[in-house]
Amino acid sequence: MRIEVVLDVKTTLGEGPLWDVTQERLYWIDSFDGRVFRSTMDGRELRAWDVTQKIGSMAIRKDGEGAIVSLQRGFHTLDFKTGDVELIHDPEPDAPANRLNDGKVDRRGRFIAGSMDTKEEGPNGGLYRLDPDFSVTKIDSGIICSNGPCFSPDDLTLYFNDTWSGQIWAYDYDIETGSIANRRTFAKVDTSRGGAADGSTVDAEGFLWNALVYDGRLVRYAPDGSVDRIVDMPVKKVTSVMFGGPELDILYVTSMSKPPLPRFPDDGQLRGSLFAIHGLGVRGVEEPRFGS
């Protein structure tokens, strides 16, 4: 196993690595600075877009010419050619202290994304489904900090976590309708070192990888929720993970250079870097695009 720095871009709150298999390009975001980044697998041809608001996550659209972005004030489209950002829908117009956060696309082209309380204190957030026709449905509520949505390879399970709950949840997922049921604890997170569950992805074997933010570790959970493997990272504030590269065998890891709230710790020189882990012996699954 080898961990290397792809780019030391010092993202204030790096998040959401996303490998697009068609373009063979890696995307990631800076949540606090409101930017979308794109590069080759090894960090060349760097490009960035300013989306004007804090951003929680993104999804490439079917045509590859743009993205869906979950911004502080709702779901928007981003045109890669012009840089234009246009509102689709704000699901929480009466919750100014909230913002949309982490999200992923299912294999029918729906975007599942949650919201969060910006102070990370109150259960004021929800979980939403944006369908290809741009309709929005609220599918869960009572969430403090939405993170880590991802789907099992058989499409039967949606994984998700409220970061400060100390748990990763699993829902029964209906791929035909996009509905969820039977929320339950998939895994209890080891918070003894001050860490909490952040972004997640699922590999081709159906194991879930989660970034333990503030703890500097990545955890691979077996389908039964047991801990299969732990990877120690060179920084504490790791935020999210995604497999990429032509063979989908490189695990990309984002991190933050500055904690969002004063109570969170600082970090080392490589804080805010984008990392790549080689030699894990595991492959990921193709990330779907948004749309029908």
Residue 99 is labelled as binding a ligand: yes
DSSP for residue 287: P
The question of whether 20 is a catalytic residue gets the answer no
Q: How many CB atoms lie within 10 A of CB 82?
A: 10
Give the distance between the most distant pair of CA atoms in the chain.
47
Tokens representing residue 226 in the block? 């047991």
Q: Which of 140, 198, 203, 249 is catalytic?
A: 198
Residue 182 is labelled as binding a ligand: no
From CA 164, how far away is CA 46, in angstroms rounded? 34
H or E segment and range at residue 54: none
Q: Answer yes or no: are the C-beta atoms of 272 and 14 closer than 8 Å.
A: yes
Residue 120 is labelled as binding a ligand: no
For 164, list phi and psi in degrees, rounded to 5: -95, 10
Residue 15 is labelled as binding a ligand: yes
From CA 182, how far away is CA 102, in angstroms rounded? 21
Q: Answer yes or no: are the C-beta atoms of 235 and 5 closer than 8 Å.
A: no
How many CA atoms lie less than 13 Å away from 189 in the CB half-sphere? 31
Binding residues for a divalent metal cation: 15, 147, 198
Binding residues: 15, 99, 101, 147, 198
Binding residues for substrate: 99, 101
Query: Which residues are known catalytic residues?
Result: 198
